[in-house]
Amino acid sequence: MAFAFSIRCLLLGVIRLAVAVIIRDPSTVNRTYDYIVAGGGLTGLVVANRLTEDPNTSVLVVEYGDFDDRWDVAIPYHARFLHTEDLFEIPSEPQKGLWNRSFSVWLRKTVGGGSTVNGMALSRGARADYDAWEALGNPGWGWEGMFPYFKRSSSLTYPGPELVHKYGYVVSPEGYGRGPMQAGFPKWQFPALNNYIDAWTKDIGVEYRTDGDTNGENIGMAWKPIDIDPVNITRSSARKAYYDPASGRANLDILVGCYVATLDTDPSASVTGVNVRVARVNSSSTKQIFLRSGKEVILAAGAVHTTKILQLSGIGPAALLQPLGIGIVVDLPGVGANFQDHPTNNGYSFKFLNEPSLNPNLYDEASFYNESWDEYMANRTGPLTWAFGNNRVVLSLNNLTNDYQALMDDFLHGNETSQYLDDWHKQHPVLEAGYKLQHQIMAQVISEKHGSVMESVFGGAAGSPFTVVKPFSRGTVLINSTNPDPILGAPQVNYQALTHPFDMKLAIEGLKMVRKLLSTPSMALLHPVEIVPGANVTTEAQIEEAIRTILYRPSNSHPCCTAAMLPLELGGVVDPQLRVYGVQGLRIVDASILPLIPSAHTQETMYAVGEKAADVIKGVNGYR
């Protein structure tokens, strides 16, 4: 009874329900809005909030999923788990760089999108990441243009001086403003965390970044905040930060349990509205309703579904659409190309033979979990305030290996920069041209020793996943049917992970670095023992085989770049104002517009993109 009462208190007291009427029947929605936002995820809610600050502007958000007020998505510890109720799964294409294995592609279907169900990680890319966007032909999208929007979107709150002193939390407050998304730190850390910190900074010698990664540099070891409400100590999602405060506005509607199937265009290639269907989980009906946009349709459905909507609507590569019988509105080869994510080694495992008595394995013991639950419910303190971990190490190539110059010469300085691209990119000259410029810029940044190439996140557990943060491989998201259903008509998702040999070399060097970490004096105190792939895997050939067969996944759930903000002649899909080339009344505001993936978890970048996009749409210049 006490447990049930606690749950009820959390639901009704801590997790504030939206007060606006939520529309679930598309037949009852208004037929015309100034703006229709396809996707109620992170960026969709940011833009909807900012546009409806003007009471004379009407906005409809269409979201496949629904609101999730369950306790387990709110409590930080439960960010560790896969919340399948808020996700749907489609299979990837077999990955030739990973021994033709297919992987689950988990896509969000809940109000707030990934910010509702992710690991709560907040990190920013380096200045060089965003300056590369600008160098690719996007004025105003470099670090100086993005930084004000990082500040506008977020606020930083420390948990209290005693905990700051106890754990050593440090990050520059100058990187934050007074925005709605709340950044902070948990009221708990595990003791072995100090072994990791000492191993990285004292034994290996990477820089201890006391400013965090908020001010344009991220090489080194830094504290990584999470999105946590400082009052309730619950997840600060886009739903909580952007939708709930705006939910009482008469000019903002949200239609849940439905999805945008296609866009409607007139003979002049102007988008006039959207065709909406009820989500399959709610109905077997294929009936669709047309909703008119008075000003613009804004696609914010994510890198996979925004791409699918465009292609089904005749906006994409003619070579793909014509064989499917789809009429061409505009031939844009870049739609579905340039696909990027962060390949991640989460298969490597080890254990500590001399683990501290307080360690993350205790969560599996009922007594520890129940005591932690009681403490959290009573005081909002303790182990349940902790998610995945709050530290990240970002390495440049010269941090990672002494052979960095040879790697550059072998793989990045050759003339055939596009030889490792797949046939789809090679058969479209604009895609090949765009990749060559990307390759040139990325190689230059890496050669100057301040380019990020690998990341490891840790928090005191026996685990240290390594991620390739600036991959050179490029994949595709391409439809193979005209079925608009997001599951039954799922597009072909091909990461092409680790198909560029430089990415594989980074993965190999990353595994060597984990082993170096475990052999340091600070980590040796814990007596680490490698389990997978095993100490007998020693040669580069053996390590590569382990990476391809058991260690690596193609994704860290950061899909992006499939409708890139690039010049048209470089395979671009949107211009710097996020307008789709060749079409009127259509913009894209989600991770698909990124030309290059940043060397960070994408969440914080997308808050800034959403804020900047709102100003672009409203015609506002600069940080207000």
Q: Is 271 annotated as a binding residue?
A: no
Q: Phi-psi category of 112—alpha, beta or left, where left has phi over 0 and alpha has psi -120 to 50?
A: left
Residue in 257, 263, 272 with CA at minimum distance from that of residue 309: 263
Q: How far apart are CA 454 and CA 30, in angstroms?
A: 48
Phi, psi of 555 (to 5 degrees): -140, 145
CB-CB contact of 292 with 60 (8 Å): no
Tallying the residues shown for the chain, one arrives at 624
Q: 269 Cβ partners below 8 Å, 6+ apart?
A: 329, 330, 582, 583, 584
Supply 238's token pair.
């886009």
Q: How far apart are CA 600 and CA 579, in angstroms?
A: 26
Q: 21 Cβ partners below 8 Å, 6+ apart?
A: none
CB-CB contact of 489 with 481 (8 Å): yes
Q: How far apart are CA 426 and CA 206, in angstroms?
A: 39
Q: How many CB atoms lie within 10 A of CB 624?
A: 8
Q: How far apart are CA 438 and CA 449, in angstroms?
A: 17
CA-derived radius of gyration, the chain: 24
Q: 59 Cβ partners below 8 Å, 6+ apart?
A: 33, 34, 35, 36, 37, 48, 51, 52, 251, 252, 253
- Amino acid type, 232: N
478 by DSSP, 3-state: which?
Answer: strand
Catalytic hit among 342, 425, 439, 601:
601
To which H or E segment does residue 131 belong? helix 127-135
Supply 393's token pair.
């190490």
Supply 18's token pair.
């939206």
- Amino acid type, 63: E
CB-CB contact of 484 with 251 (8 Å): no
User: Cα–chain-centroid distance for residue 274?
Assistant: 26
450 in active site: no
Supply 465's token pair.
């996943």
601 in active site: yes
Binding-site positions for FAD: 260
Which residues have a catalytic role annotated?
A: 558, 601
